[in-house]
Structure 1
Amino acid sequence: MTETVTSRADLRRARVTEISAEIFSRRGFRATSMNEIAAAAGLSKPTLYHYFRSKEELLVRIYSDVLDESLTLGQRTVADAASALDAIRDLIRSRVVYTCEHQALLKVCFEEEHELPTELAEEVLRRRRAFERLFVAALERHLAEHPEVQLPMTPKVYVNMCLGAVNWCYKWYRPAGPSSPHELGRQLGTALTAALV
């Protein structure tokens, strides 16, 4: 009985989070009211406040979910890769796919970060760095295994360049365009790792 109630509550929270991200991406965090979110979610305002006490809590939940999901996906990607180079390509590809398939979510994450409560901004940065370290570790392993590869930059700068390129897809990717998220991911994975082969 408790498990069903908890599951239902979690599903409702996830739905409210998804709706909030979509509205924040269209209207902006500050211009969105809890009334709008409640109406879009089909909830009364008191019911919405039962799940989330404020817009800030919703925003924090959006960031937490994205960062946790990104790190889990990244760890699985690295573990499943046949080589360090494959891990790097697959990290790039999966990041492109995730970004293209969650454009509204990523728009909120990249454009509303300044709205996070100050005390939580450092936590967001710490979790983001965990993903970056995963990427850097795969790159350093590849470079150690292939000393003939000479990057014209530090591994950290290379990783930030790659992440900057793939994360920016949320701005320009169009579902009706010539490439699917998976095709685009493969293309960027090949292009961005050309210096590593």
Structure 2
Amino acid sequence: MTEVSDQADVGPAKSAGGSVRNSVMRERITEAAARLFQTRGISGVTMQEVAAEVGLSKASIYHYYQSRDDLLRHVFGDWARGEVERARAIAGTDEDAATKLTAFMRFHLNSLVDHLDLYGLSFREEGQLPAEVRNEFRALKREHDVLVRQIIRQGVEARIFEPIDETLAAFAIDGMCNWIWKWYRPGRGGKPADEIAETFSHLVLRGMMTSASTTTTGWTEDLQGIDGQLAYHAREIRHHTSQIELLLKSR
């Protein structure tokens, strides 16, 4: 009953300035909540503790989020929804499948590095989310996986990739990328996300590309085949250039 009366005491902001302030404060609250969830676990944090973290009273925080479940939905759901929207945009381009997959891995690894604590929390404590929030979050993750499989299928159909099991390949790629939350430590002399993505995509594509993608033997004389071969060799050049730069720096 106290929470209901707290909510009733605080009316919504009316002005444009109030709307901007609301947006800024909502972002501060979600960031603070994510930090607290990371250190104490999802079940170990109350709305009052989140409010105190950003200098609000318990009553005031309900001006921004209706309940703890509502806050959790935004901490996890808004972030996952943004990830899927970006993944859709990559999968929907007119690039060849190998270029799409490289872009997808680069985006995903950069996102992992930028939201490392949140990713780690989602892997460790997803089961602690309220059922409705958990179901929505899992649905978004499934769509993310579907988009990876879609790119792989396009590559197989275009004869850029070997005829492989797209589900197993997608699991392998997701596992390679997602496991970064266990070992990556920002600010400790590690490689930047783009460089990790370049190495990972090089490993993946070398294992998936057809022999026709790396030599002219058996290559069909159509525009799609030529574009695929050019894209592959461009990636090879970038990869080896980055390796040469690293070797020169270490001399």
**1:195 corresponding residue in structure 2:** 207
**1:134 corresponding residue in structure 2:** 147
Which one scores higher on RCO, CA 8 angstroms, separation ≥ 6?
Answer: 1
Q: Report whether the alignment pairs 1:42 with 2:71.
A: no
Q: Report whether the alignment pairs 1:165 with 2:176.
A: yes
Alpha-carbon deviations, 1:146-181, whole Å to 9, x = none?
177132xx2012112211221121121011233012
Gaps of 5+ in 2: 1-13, 210-251
In the alignment, the residues of structure 1 paired with residue 94 and residue 195 of structure 2 have an alpha-carbon distance, to the nearest angstrom, of: 18
- 1:155 is aligned with what amino acid? E
Gaps of 5+ in 1: none
Range with greater deviation from structure 2 (87-96 or 70-79): 70-79
Contact 2:110-2:194 at 8 Å conserved across structures? yes
**2:105 corresponding residue in structure 1:** 92
In the TM superposition, residue 27 of structure 1 has moved relative to its aligned partner by: 1.7
In the alignment, the residues of structure 1 paired with residue 172 and residue 99 of structure 2 have an alpha-carbon distance, to the nearest angstrom, of: 18
**1:3 corresponding residue in structure 2:** 16
**1:110 corresponding residue in structure 2:** 123
Q: Would the alpha carbon gap of residues 24 and 195 (structure 1) be closer, same or farther in structure 2, given more than 3 Å must change?
A: same
In the alignment, the residues of structure 1 paired with residue 132 and residue 168 of structure 2 have an alpha-carbon distance, to the nearest angstrom, of: 27
**2:189 corresponding residue in structure 1:** 177
In the alignment, the residues of structure 2 paired with residue 115 and residue 130 of structure 1 have an alpha-carbon distance, to the nearest angstrom, of: 21
Contact 1:101-1:181 at 8 Å conserved across structures? no
Aligned-partner SS, 1:50: coil
- 2:29 is aligned with what amino acid? V
Aligned-partner SS, 1:109: helix
In the alignment, the residues of structure 2 paired with residue 127 and residue 148 of structure 1 have an alpha-carbon distance, to the nearest angstrom, of: 26
In the alignment, the residues of structure 2 paired with residue 4 and residue 180 of structure 1 have an alpha-carbon distance, to the nearest angstrom, of: 38
User: Which structure has the bigger radius of gyration?
Assistant: 2
Contact 2:80-2:140 at 8 Å conserved across structures? yes
**1:186 corresponding residue in structure 2:** 198
Contact 1:25-1:104 at 8 Å conserved across structures? yes
In the alignment, the residues of structure 1 paired with residue 51 and residue 37 of structure 2 have an alpha-carbon distance, to the nearest angstrom, of: 13
Contact 1:81-1:90 at 8 Å conserved across structures? no
- 1:36 is aligned with what amino acid? E
RMSD: 2.0
Q: Report whether the alignment pairs 1:63 with 2:91.
A: no
Q: Would the alpha carbon gap of residues 81 and 187 (structure 1) be closer, same or farther in structure 2, given more than 3 Å must change?
A: farther
In the alignment, the residues of structure 2 paired with residue 22 and residue 166 of structure 1 have an alpha-carbon distance, to the nearest angstrom, of: 22
Aligned-partner SS, 2:42: coil
In the TM superposition, residue 80 of structure 1 has moved relative to its aligned partner by: 4.7
Contact 1:19-1:37 at 8 Å conserved across structures? yes
TM-score with structure 1 length normalisation? 0.89
Range with greater deviation from structure 2 (135-144 or 177-186): 177-186
In the alignment, the residues of structure 2 paired with residue 69 and residue 141 of structure 1 have an alpha-carbon distance, to the nearest angstrom, of: 24
Contact 2:109-2:193 at 8 Å conserved across structures? yes
Range with greater deviation from structure 2 (20-29 or 117-126): 117-126
